[in-house]
């Protein structure tokens, strides 16, 4: 029995660790080795990430403060102390972003012909073009909202860009306030005739405000933007009769969540800031938990910086990364309708976006829909990307009489409305749609195809780390395994029965399933490596995840390190473990890879005294994944795939371009290649195929 306990000094705060991840994203925008438009993309991603962080994580902490929660996080910080630390770090990061954009990145883009043009540079002809555009396209959409005794302060929607307008009535000399929303339905960056040069929409509106308030004096206007609490948390005690209707109601109510952040344009006077803070306060909350001046972020001349992704997508090849053309795995090239035959001959491993999602996963489901011998298709759908070949294939399969079951997770954060739409479309085509469980979020990525063959019924399976989403499959790195292993197929049948019916299935043959026993199974695997180390046998763990925050797993990792297990953790984002503590975590190394593609795959390697084991699946090592989500992890038992997976892990561990090393104090340092040749894991994976240049992990 271990004598370890997780004292605060052994645990890095989750929220501050996430902010350091977003700092690494921002660094990619600073890095001059990246093409200019790619740097702009990372600056936009930094802002979008921060939006979600405030909508969910900061909002949750503020709710805890409002409820007088004093229980500390594992690192010892109270909710208020966490909010104070977050505010300090966010202001530092925003200052860095403003310097980057306005002192370095925007000027560098201007030198290459991509510009946001000041209004005073426009020619008479360009002004006429913009006036015509405003008159015909913008003005009809705008709605000025006055604030006075007869017009209360208007509702401001989450993340919407607005203009706060100061107006004076020349007859009464009274001053007034009005709000004008910058419509999202129009392009944020308005072209006016010069290639790759634009005017921000809010500036075009601002210079034409007299058209909205005729006869009034426009004294000034300032852009502002708010962030609301947008999380949806359903209590298991609610047990609604109709989960779909409940989620729809919660999505609607989310629009009215309390304001947790106010962003203002630089130069907004204190009086205007104070007016906005006062009007946006939520009287339902105690004073220490509602909006205050501490929650105001001064953002420079531009707000809504996530919209910079539109500029980053400009078709200027010399300012962007070369286009990636995904390959098809060698064993699947040219097989067309024989994919099932290939899988029977041996498991197939795919790695997106380097290998095509279209010719592997989509083709697998399309083939199943067309094949007369396929009897049933079952699939979990967490996030999808609209009218995709997968949705069409499932619809056609149901219409042709196949048994088609799709579990649509209505609680997928910020995709709730989208998933409701696709659930209804699938239902209308005859697909059996299941909405998941009240108290569990179905996060696993699994597809089961049941096929009638000459020697009986055979089950074909795809288990992946990423969503069945063709868009993210081009942007995220994800792994998938195709297999017809009978035990894995039987496990997946049992899992779908658990998801769609009444079942208390707890034990599975091959799959590791949450919430059944995933934490226990991983703890057991880690304990086995620990026992090997204590007995003097080789012991090794390499784990690649998005997040490591689960306290029992962190304690087990510390215990394994004390025993001498060599541990490499490739953790993209949050990592609450402290590596390098003398006598505790000296053999643990933590690497974060932040590059062109979002590292999203989860992969585990256990040396097991030479009897190597590999696992891949959907779960991070977090309490929520182990206890409040349905997750699936599969062993990769085909030894022909062990070499490629070993190569993959070794490639990541030898990255000296996009790799960041976590220090004991919770800070990260980017690994430098010094005199060595630069090795970029993602670039190597673009230019190689499975099994090339094996590296010993």
Give me the CATH number covering residue 424: 3.30.870.10
Share above pLDDT 70 across residues of the chain, in percent, rounded to a whole number: 90
pLDDT of residue 235: 46
Q: What is the structure's pLDDT at 415?
A: 58
Which pLDDT score is estimated for 697?
38
Nearest-angstrom CA–CA distance, 600 and 612 = 23
Residue 203's nearest CA partner among 184, 186, 182, 218 is 182
Q: What is the pLDDT of residues 175-210, one digit of tens each?
A: 888 999 999 999 999 999 899 999 999 999 999 999
Please state the pTM of the whole predicted model.
0.91
The answer to whether residues 282 and 380 belong to one domain is: no
| pLDDT tier for residue 416 given thresholds of 50, 70 and 90 | low
pLDDT tens for each residue of 468-495:
988 889 999 999 999 999 999 999 999 9
Question: Same structural domain for residues 537 and 613?
Answer: yes
pLDDT confidence tier of residue 163, bands split at 50, 70 and 90: very high
Ramachandran region, residue 609 (left: φ > 0; alpha: ψ -120 to 50; beta: rest): left
Domain end call among 312, 346, 381: 312
- pLDDT at res. 371: 95
**Does 597 or 242 have the greater pLDDT score?**
597
Q: Does 645 reside within a domain? A: yes
Q: Can you tell me the distance from the alpha carbon of 15 to that of 574, in angstroms, rounded to the nearest whole number?
A: 8
In a domain, 442, yes or no: yes
For residue 57, being part of any structural domain is answered with no
Whether 547 and 656 share a structural domain: yes
* For residues 447-473, average pLDDT: 94
Q: Check residue 236 and give its pLDDT.
A: 45
Tell me how far apart the alpha carbons of residues 574 and 622 are, in angstroms, rounded to a whole number: 10
The answer to whether residues 582 and 557 touch, using CB atoms and an 8 Å cutoff, is: no
Q: Is the pLDDT of residue 641 over 60?
A: yes
Nearest by Cα to 154 from 182, 184, 176, 178: 178
Q: For residues 337 and 247, state if they share a domain.
A: no
Is 694 part of any domain? no
- Quote the number of domains for the chain: 3
Nearest CA to 257 out of 145, 414, 150, 152 is that of 414
For residue 601, being part of any structural domain is answered with yes
For 567, phi then psi, to 5°, come to -130, 125
For residue 33, tell me if it sits in a domain.
Answer: no
Reported as half-sphere exposure (CB side, CA atoms, 13 A), residue 563 has a value of 26
Does residue 307 share a domain with residue 370? no
Which of 62-71, 174-183, 553-562: highest mean pLDDT? 553-562
* Residue in 27, 351, 363, 443 annotated catalytic: 443
CA dihedral 254, 22, 620, 3 (to 10 degrees): -110
pLDDT confidence of residue 240: 45
Termini Cα distance of the chain: 30
Indicate whether 301 and 404 sit together in one domain. no
Q: Is 248's pLDDT higher than 70?
A: no
The verdict on 103 and 209 lying in the same domain is yes
User: What pLDDT digit, counting tens, does each position of 74-114 carry?
Assistant: 888 999 999 999 999 999 999 999 999 999 999 999 999 99
Query: For residue 291, what is the domain's CATH number?
Result: 3.30.1840.10
Quick one: three-class SS letters along 507-533? CCCCCEEECCCHHHHHHHHHHHHHHHH
Domain that holds residue 124: 98-312
DSSP string, 289-302: GS--GGGEEE-TT-
Q: Is residue 283 situated within a structural domain?
A: yes
Write down the residue that tokens 């390190």 correspond to. Answer: 561
Residue 475 lies in a domain: yes
pLDDT of residue 499: 85
**Are residue 487 and residue 519 in the same domain, yes or no?**
no
Looking at the structure, tell me whether residues 271 and 356 fall in a common domain. no
CB environment 668-697: b (16+ within 10 A), e (fewer): beebeeeeeeebbbbbbbbeeebeeeeeeb
3-class SS at 129? helix
* DSSP state string for 529-567: HHHHHHTT---EEEEEES-B--HHHHHHHHHHHHHT-EE
Whether residues 581 and 480 share a domain: the answer is: no
DSSP annotation string for 88-117:
HHHHHHHHHHHHIIIIIIHHHHHHTT-EE-
Would you say residue 152 has pLDDT above 80? no
Examine the residue annotation and report whether 443 is marked as an active-site residue of this protein. yes
3-class DSSP string for 606-665:
ECHHHCCEEEEECCCECHHHHHCEEEEEEECCCHHHHHHHHHHHHHHHCCCCCEEEECCC
- State the Cα–Cα distance between residues 662 and 287, nearest whole angstrom: 38
Same domain, yes or no: 470 and 389: yes
Comparing 299-313, 383-397, 529-543, 584-598, the range with the smallest average pLDDT is 383-397
pLDDT score, position 249:
54
Q: Answer whether residue 503 shows pLDDT above 90.
A: no
> What is the rounded distance in angstroms from the CA atom of residue 317 to the CA atom of residue 594?
22
Could you tell me if 114 and 168 lie in one domain? yes
Tokens of 167: 């107006």
Q: Which residue has the higher pLDDT, 217 or 250?
A: 217
pLDDT of residue 74: 86
């Amino acid at each position: 029995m271990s004598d370890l306990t997780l004292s605060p000094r052994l645990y890095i705060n989750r929220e501050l660790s996430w902010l350091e991840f977003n700092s690494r994203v921002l660094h990619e925008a600073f890095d001059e080795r990246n093409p200019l438009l790619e740097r702009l993309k990372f600056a936009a991603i930094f802002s979008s990430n921060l939006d979600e962080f405030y909508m969910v994580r900061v909002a949750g902490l503020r709710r805890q403060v409002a409820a007088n929660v004093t229980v500390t996080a594992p690192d010892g910080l109270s909710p208020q102390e966490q909010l104070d630390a977050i505010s300090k770090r966010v202001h530092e990061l925003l200052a860095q972003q403003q310097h980057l954009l306005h002192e370095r990145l925007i000027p560098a883009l201007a030198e290459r012909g991509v510009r946001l043009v000041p209004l005073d540079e426009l020619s008479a002809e360009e002004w006429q073009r913009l006036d015509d555009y405003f008159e015909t396209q913008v003005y009809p959409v705008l709605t000025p909202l006055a604030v006075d005794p007869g017009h209360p302060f208007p509702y401001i929607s989450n993340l919407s860009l607005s203009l706060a307008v100061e107006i004076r009535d020349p007859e009464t000399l009274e001053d007034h306030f009005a709000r004008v929303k910058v419509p999202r339905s129009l392009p944020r960056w308005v072209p006016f005739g010069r290639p790759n040069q634009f005017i921000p929409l809010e500036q075009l509106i601002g210079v034409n405000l007299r058209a909205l308030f005729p006869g009034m004096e426009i004294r000034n206007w300032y852009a502002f933007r708010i962030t609301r609490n947008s999380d949806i948390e359903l209590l298991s005690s609610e047990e609604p009769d109709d989960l779909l209707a409940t989620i729809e109601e919660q999505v609607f109510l989310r629009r009215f969540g309390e304001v947790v952040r106010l962003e203002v344009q630089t130069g907004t006077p204190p009086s205007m800031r104070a007016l906005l803070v006062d009007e946006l306060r939520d009287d339902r909350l105690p004073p220490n938990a509602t909006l205050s001046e501490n929650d105001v972020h001064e953002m420079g001349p531009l707000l809504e910086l996530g919209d910079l992704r539109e500029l980053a997508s400009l078709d200027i090849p010399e300012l962007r990364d070369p286009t990636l053309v995904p390959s098809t795995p060698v064993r699947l090239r040219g097989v067309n309708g024989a994919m099932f035959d290939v899988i029977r001959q041996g498991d197939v491993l795919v790695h997106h976006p380097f290998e095509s999602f279209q010719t592997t996963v989509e083709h697998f489901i399309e083939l199943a829909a067309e094949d007369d011998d396929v009897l049933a298709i079952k699939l979990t759908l967490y996030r999808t990307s609209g009218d995709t070949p997968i949705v069409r294939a499932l619809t056609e399969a149901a219409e042709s009489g196949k048994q088609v079951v799709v579990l649509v997770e209505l609680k997928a954060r910020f995709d709730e409305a989208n998933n409701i739409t696709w659930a209804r479309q699938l239902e209308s085509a005859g697909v059996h749609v299941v909405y998941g469980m009240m108290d569990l979020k179905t996060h696993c990525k699994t597809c089961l195809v049941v096929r009638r063959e000459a020697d009986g019924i055979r089950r074909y399976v795809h288990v992946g780390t990423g969503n069945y989403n063709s868009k993210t499959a081009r942007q995220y790195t994800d792994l998938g395994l195709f297999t017809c292993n009978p035990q894995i197929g039987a496990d997946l049948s049992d899992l779908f029965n658990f998801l769609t019916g009444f079942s208390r299935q707890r034990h599975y043959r091959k799959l590791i399933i949450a919430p059944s026993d995933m934490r226990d199974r991983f703890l057991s695997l880690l304990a086995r490596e620990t026992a090997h180390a204590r007995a003097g046998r080789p012991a090794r763990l390499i784990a690649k995840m998005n997040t490591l925050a689960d306290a029992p797993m962190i304690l087990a990792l510390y215990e394994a390190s004390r025993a001498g297990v060599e541990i490499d953790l490739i953790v993209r984002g949050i990592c609450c473990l402290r590596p390098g503590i003398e006598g505790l975590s000296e053999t643990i190394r933590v690497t974060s890879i932040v590059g062109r593609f979002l590292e999203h795959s989860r992969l585990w390697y256990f040396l097991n005294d030479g009897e190597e084991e590999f696992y891949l699946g959907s779960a991070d090592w977090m309490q929520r994944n182990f206890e409040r989500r349905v997750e699936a992890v599969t062993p990769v038992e085909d030894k022909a795939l062990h070499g490629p997976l070993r190569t993959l892990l070794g490639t990541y561990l030898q990255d000296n371009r996009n790799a960041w090393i976590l220090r004991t104090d919770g800070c990260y340092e980017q690994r430098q290649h010094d005199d060595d040749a630069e090795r970029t894991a993602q670039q190597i994976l673009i230019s190689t195929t499975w099994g090339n240049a094996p590296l010993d992990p």
